[in-house]
Amino acid sequence: MLVGAVALLLAAACEVTVDPEPTATPSAVAPFVRTNKDWLVAHADPAAAIGQPVELRARVYSVANGADDLVLCAWVDFDNDQLSTVFRVPGATEGVARDDFVWVEGIVTGIAEPADACGDAVQPEVEVTYLTVTDRIGVRPALRVEQVGQALERRGVRVVLERIEFAAEETRIYFTLVNRLEETLLAFATGLVIEIDGTEIPAIIPIGEGIPAPLGRVAPGTTEHGGFQFPPLAPDGPAITVRWRGARVGPAGSEIGDWTWVVDPTGAVAPAG
């Protein structure tokens, strides 16, 4: 009896419990997605980028219709007409035109060699899985909009600073010009600046659809609407002085004087002119 009891104790002591196989599958690491911010790196070495997913915003400069796809040549750095990239849209032959802005998702599938559809430089080729045709505001949406609505009038010319749009990569300022004179108003963007902490920043003429700019020549008795772009500004930063200089009546006319507005992006101080 004693021997049997000892055997049972030894058997219990040697018994090993095996955990069951795990049923949950470890979550996959999300692939690195190339965007406009790091496209310069991929563009410099397109072979290394093959197989990588992308989410890019670009401006189309050439469209070619293939038998069963659409080939788009587009600037990813569309402010400077740089970083040309080939986008192939399978199953589409229309719907995109020159100067359209596009927002695409896809995969880098190869390298477009010189003398291909998009010029004489080696560049990445992306097969598009999702495409949206939009405008400049669509590819650079405003993170915050400051409604100003501040009007200034000099010698029969009324200029309204309508609003300021703060986007991640640029700032847009919109105006309305009303010429109540009997002569043409000359007010070119070269005279438009913003000033922050004593530093002047000139306006940038927008490229592409979405931000119509006043023509610079406002005919007698007419109204012009439009906006200009500037480098990105913090929406909670210091006060912005917007100054439009050099406007004159007719080619030989005298200057009207500056239009000047002071805008506090925080909204703590009402806009003044």
CATH architecture, domain 142-263: Sandwich (2.60)
The DSSP letter of residue 268 is S
Query: Is residue 8 within a helix (H) or strand (E), and if so which, with residue range?
Result: helix 2-14
Tokens of 90: 């399978």
What does the pLDDT look like over 98-152, one tens digit per residue? 999 999 999 999 998 766 668 778 899 999 999 999 999 999 999 999 999 999 9
Say which residues have a Cβ less than 8 Å from residue 32's Cβ, sequence separation at least 6: 52, 53
Domain 36-134 of CATH type 3.40.50.980: no
CB 249 within 8 A of CB 184: yes
Taking Cα atoms as reference points, which of 168, 187, 191, 165 lies closest to residue 176?
187
pLDDT digits (tens, 9 = 90+) for 64-91: 887 788 999 999 999 889 999 999 999 8
**Sheet of strand 248-249, all strands in order from the earlier edge strand to the far edge:** 217-218, 185-186, 248-249
Question: Rounded to 5 degrees, what angle do the CA atoms 138, 142, 144 make?
Answer: 160
pLDDT of residue 232: 93
Residues 6 or more apart in contact with residue 259 via CB below 8 angstroms:
152, 154, 159, 243, 244, 247, 273
Q: What is the pLDDT of residues 225-252, one digit of tens each?
A: 889 999 999 888 889 999 998 888 877 7
Q: What is the pTM of this model?
A: 0.77
DSSP β-ladder status, 123-134 and 82-90 = parallel
Domain boundaries, the chain: 36-134, 142-263
